[in-house]
A = this chain, B = another copy of it.
Amino acid sequence: MSDPVPPLTAPTRHSAGPRRSEASHAAILDAAEAILAERGSGGLTFEAVARRAGAGKPTLYRWWPNRTALLLEVYDRRKHRELPDHDTGDLAGDLLAVLADLWRFWRETPAGRAYAGIIAEAQQDDAARAVIAGQWTAPNFSLTPIFDRALARGDLTDAGEALTLREYVAAMNWFRLLTGRLDPADLPGLVATLIAGRTARRG
């Protein structure tokens, strides 16, 4: 039964189950985040991340189809750590609070430039672009609970309208980030104009 020749891939990696897998996933994200901090986005290759995390490149490819997907998950994890949800009981109030946090996060940490870089890089790679294109409709996207609550309260009654408004907010965030215009003084006007009259019309 014993085999003196070690297998090419350690079987424990495959048999350790979800707990080991989650730890490895987190270790890879930690390694990627450390490399980003030290060497910037240009230094983040799958090779460098795998070496630092003590993982195999195939493991990375199992979870992330490309560099953009990995960069985006590192970015998202940090964003979720640093930005709380805000439940103010009101659509405009929620949007103002969450967007003020997000714009500050983009302005005052390297995250803004990093995220703009992810969008820019994805323009040369259709698979990467598909990754960022799906982000704003994901259940864990920061705007999702805001519009879900607005529908639950009856502030908005049409799910299609809620989704389109959410996309306008995501689009404006990108536009302001990519044109370097993240002035928080603009937020009340932007939110009020988008939401104007919607709840009142139904009130």
Contacts and interface: CB of A to CB of B under 8 A. Distances in A.
A168 interface: yes
A168 B178 contact: no
Identical copies of this chain, number: 2
A193 B170 contact: no
Interface residues of A, number: 38
B126 A180 contact: yes
Contacts of A164: 189-190, 193
B117 A123 contact: yes
B119 A178 contact: yes
A129 B180 CA distance: 7
A161 B120 contact: no
Given A119-B178, A165-B193, A170-B175, 5 more contacts: A120-B120, A130-B180, A160-B189, A171-B174, A197-B197
A48 interface: no
Contacts of A126: 180
Contacts of A189: 160, 164
Contact of A161 (B129, B178, B193): B193
Contacts of A174: 171, 174-175, 178
A45 to B, nearest CB: 19
Nearest to A180: B129
Contacts of A120: 119-121, 123-124
